[in-house]
Amino acid sequence: MPMPTRIATAIARGAPAAAASKLKEELFAKLEGAPPVLVVVFASTEQPLAEIVRTLAPAVGSALLLGASTAGEFTEKGDAKGSVCAFALAGDYKVFAGIGRSLKQAPAQAVRQALEGLPRSVPGYDHRTGILLLDPLAGNGEEVTLLTASQLGVDQPLVGGAAGDDLQMKCTVVSCGGEAASDAVVIAQIFSKERLGLGVCHGHTPLSPPLHVTRARGNVVEQINGRPAWDVWLEQTRSRASERGVDLSKMTAEEEGGYLLRYEAGLAAGKELKIRAPLSRNQDGAISFACGMPEGTEFRITESAPESQIASAREAARRARAQLGGRPASGALVFDCICRNLILGAGFSSAVRGMSEELGGAPLAGFETYGEIALDAGDLSGFHNTTSVVLAFP
């Protein structure tokens, strides 16, 4: 008789140690005695991840504990800021993970370090799914995703998210066990007897005419169409921002991160738009992105209407459920772009509830990211922005 899957979610605020204790109590109560194999926590900068995992690690027993700092946290009940939420999985799964450091300087080495010693197969568990959590301020999200996929093999689905820091763009953190670090990557392998469901969708459309990256270094775009990148971004979005009642000339430094994540870059990639997230303005007018932006890149600045954001979140959940092959969803992990919250504001909670409804009312927990990771067999790119990624468990 296979062990049934049980998933519990919880969200807490207050002093970090007290919030962690509350999470533990609620998760274990909801699991009703089933021992968790995986616990994932998503923590605002107001709930320092290192402190949260230090408190939780001894409490979760033999379960693997993973985490990321966030730009917002949510469960099926709704979203919050300044809080910490958690997802606990119990059932017939085997989960392993590792952490790699010096992600910016040596991404391939960091990936190898995270994977070192992890089993790549478990007898009796035919399905494996990777979870990737990374520090996006290292500026190589796509590269790290593809390096990880290369190491895991071409047939393994991979999901995850880039950590956030409440739009401060200063320090994003990931954790594995009781260890939390920035400039790091965490890679987990979930071995299961049944296939997990993966759904991905975004709802952005072009706003600007085609623009060209004319000078760049790695993930830093210095010039667009021969002019400072920041100037071009302001020029192309001023009118639309004004329609929303935002005067870009009065924007403060603290507001710049949110502004950039609302108007992201869309690369023409066949019939699709590949969205790339600008994260911060440098003093020289260049813009730092969450992954490499080679010179010569042609893109359009994009935006999204609120209704498109709600519809695409639901669609991602529908796609994840469809992959379960008719089995009901026990719950889901969700990696959702912070831009959705910026666009929807108070309506973001309804988008989250919509995802849960599409999953038959199943519990879910997730965080608002600076980049989403989803790579299924056959995909050629795995790092996304402005996207909802849903990993559903049968």
Partner 1 sequence: MSTAHPLKRSIKRSQLVGLLAPTLGYEKSDGHVVAAARELGVALGHEVRVEHVLAILDRLAAAEGLVGVAARFVQVRGELDTMIGAAVASLRPQSMATSTPTQAVPAPRAPSTSRVSFEEIAMFVAPALGDVVARGAVGKHAAALDVRGPEASRADAARILDAMSQVEGMIGVVASFAKARFLLKYPA
Judged by beta carbon, residue 67 or residue 382, the one nearer partner 1 is 382
Of residues 58, 61, 121, 254, which one binds partner 1 by CB under 8 A? 121
Q: Looking at beta carbons only, is 170 or 217 nearer to partner 1?
A: 217
Cα–Cα distances in Å, from 210 out to 266, 281, 297, 300, 386? 10, 21, 10, 5, 19
Q: How far is the CB of 323 from partner 1 (least distance, A)?
A: 20
User: Could you say whether residue 106 binds partner 1 (CB under 8 A)?
Assistant: no
Q: If binding is defined by CB under 8 A, does position 288 make contact with partner 1?
A: no
Among candidate residues 373, 368, 385, the one with its CA nearest the CA of residue 159: 373
Q: Give the footprint of partner 1 on residues 194-223 (CB under 8 A).
A: 212, 218
Of the two residues 122 and 234, which places its CB atom closer to partner 1 in the complex? 122
Asked whether position 123 contacts partner 1 by CB under 8 A, the answer is no
The two tokens of residue 195 are 């296939």
Question: 67 vs 371, which CB is nearer to partner 1?
Answer: 371
Among 75-83, 93-101, 256-264, 270-278, which window interacts with partner 1 (CB under 8 A)? 270-278
Is 193 one of the binding residues for partner 1 (CB under 8 A)?
no
Considering the complex, state which of residue 226 and residue 378 has its C-beta at the smaller distance from partner 1.
378
DSSP H helical ranges for the chain: 16-31, 49-56, 107-115, 141-152, 229-243, 256-262, 306-322, 338-344, 348-358
Q: Give the residue, chosen from 9, 140, 208, 369, that forms a contact with partner 1 under the rule CB under 8 A.
A: 140
Q: Exposed, middle or buried: residue 241 (CB in 10 Å: 0-12, 13-18, 19+)?
A: middle
β-pair type (331-337, 387-393): antiparallel
Q: Which residues pair with 223 in a beta bridge?
A: 215, 228
Cβ neighbourhood burial of 284 (10 Å; 0-12, 13-18, 19+):
exposed
Work out which of 209, 226, 294, 326 binds partner 1, going by CB under 8 A: 294
Q: Is 326 in the site for partner 1 (CB under 8 A)?
A: no
- Helix, strand, or coil (residue 162): strand
Q: How far is the CB of 383 from partner 1 (least distance, A)?
A: 8
SS3 state of residue 139:
coil
Q: What are phi and psi of 292, to 5 degrees?
A: -60, 145
Strand 383-384 to 387-393 pairing = unpaired
Q: 52 is written with which tokens?
A: 């949260």
Rule CB under 8 A: say whether 267 interacts with partner 1.
Answer: yes
The answer to whether 362 contacts partner 1 (rule: CB under 8 A) is: no
Q: Mask: binding to partner 1, 141-170, rule CB under 8 A, as x and -?
A: -xx--xx-xxxxxx-x--------------
Residues in contact with partner 1 by the rule CB under 8 A: 107, 115, 119-121, 140, 142-143, 146-147, 149-154, 156, 212, 218, 267-270, 272, 274, 291-294, 296-299, 378-381, 383
